[in-house]
Structure 1
Amino acid sequence: MAKNQAPSPPPEPGVKPAGKGKLKLILLVVVALLLAIGLSVGATWFLLSKGDSGQDEESAAPVAAAPVRQAAIYEPLVPAFVVNFNHQGRQRYMQVSVTLMGRDQAALDALKVHMPLLRNNLVMLLSSQDFALLGTPAGMEMLRQQITASVQELGQKELGKPVIEQALFTNFVLQ
């Protein structure tokens, strides 16, 4: 059982089948788009890196001249501070965890020698606060700044330098 197929007529010269011509056109357009995108990305990268290298040379000298800032060191004060208040005839409590941020480990270690005095000063400061004011963000921030100033004052008095940059609350509970 052989199939009888009529031989297809030979293609005319200069005329291509419709499917192959469209495929070549699509491929040509895709390649041209990819080439254009690649050139634009390359040109952008070249121009931006050229601009950065000029800035690096100019700004490298001032950066090298500036003093290198040491990494921050965090020293938690444990255990947490718990103080009580008498607010409008009711007994109220506050629990605060404080962490000190400094840049000199030796100075922080030297401050640990004075920890009983530091904790006493902070307990007195915390217990003298107005309970209603502590419930507001402004009151909390004011208390944080007062704690920072108290610790810096103690450091200045005992060690001759402020020792810490700031005190941070890691836990703050009012009840």
Structure 2
Amino acid sequence: MAKNQAAPLPPGVAAEPKSKLKLIILMVVALLLAVGLSVAGTWFVLSKSGGNEARPAEPAEGATSLRRAAVYEDLSPAFVINYRQGNRQRYLQVSIALMARDEERLKALRVHMPVLRNELVMLLSGQDFDSLLTPVGKEMLRQQATAKVQELALKETGHQVVEQVLFTNLVLQ
């Protein structure tokens, strides 16, 4: 027998160890390509915005279509409403803020704050306590409060003034 002849390999053993090395190299290249494409895509999207978000746009003279920055007015103190539910006494405490876009119109509405607070107390005290326990009930109350405040503002100042009524704290007990 010849000395240069290799012994036959058992079945299931790879004939070339280089094929495993090629597979590993191919997987590493694919991983690097995926990471590179992800970084390039992120960079492209972020550079496309050009950083305009950090600087508020200056309204052009005579332009009224641009949206003004929000102005907030906290209604202090918080509203506390009591409810009778069966034989139990229940309470609602809610802190409210008004969101507007025009400081001067909001200032004109501040004169009517006692009437506004009265309307909100009446609205809050007329609610069903059980409905306020659900997120939908709370949102419906917030929308009713917004409509009530906008109606009052329109009546008293001639402008809607308030864009939203926000509940900044709401506790049910």
**TM norm structure 2:** 0.64
Shift of 1:132: 0.3
Write the mapping of 1:130-145 to structure 2, written as runs, cut at 5 A.
130-145=128-143
- In structure 1, distance between residues paired with 2:124 and 2:168: 15
Shift of 1:161: 1.1
- Measured on the aligned residues, the alpha-carbon RMSD in Å equals 2.8
- In structure 2, distance between residues paired with 1:69 and 1:87: 44
Name the aligned partner's letter for residue 106 of structure 1: E
Deviant stretches of 4+, over 4 Å: none
- Which SS does the other structure have where 1:70 is aligned? coil
2:126 matched residue in structure 1: 128
Is residue 75 of structure 2 the alignment partner of residue 77 of structure 1? yes
- Which SS does the other structure have where 1:69 is aligned? coil
- In structure 2, distance between residues paired with 1:66 and 1:134: 39
Shift of 1:67: 2.2
- Which SS does the other structure have where 2:91 is aligned? strand
Write the mapping of 1:29-48 to structure 2, written as runs, cut at 5 A.
none
Shift of 1:78: 0.3
Aligned residues: percent identity?
60
- In structure 1, distance between residues paired with 2:109 and 2:65: 25
Write the mapping of 1:143-154 to structure 2, written as runs, cut at 5 A.
143-154=141-152
Is residue 117 of structure 2 the alignment partner of residue 115 of structure 1? no
- In structure 1, distance between residues paired with 2:131 and 2:64: 42
Is residue 92 of structure 2 the alignment partner of residue 87 of structure 1? no
- In structure 1, distance between residues paired with 2:151 and 2:66: 25
**TM norm structure 1:** 0.63
Name the aligned partner's letter for residue 140 of structure 1: K
Structure 1 residues without counterparts, runs of 5 or longer: 1-36, 53-63
2:66 matched residue in structure 1: 68
Shift of 1:66: 8.0
Shift of 1:137: 0.1
- Which SS does the other structure have where 1:142 is aligned? helix
- In structure 2, distance between residues paired with 1:149 and 1:123: 14
Shift of 1:124: 0.5
Shift of 1:68: 1.7
Size of the aligned set, in residue pairs, is 122
Structure 2 residues without counterparts, runs of 5 or longer: 1-32, 49-59
- Which SS does the other structure have where 1:166 is aligned? strand
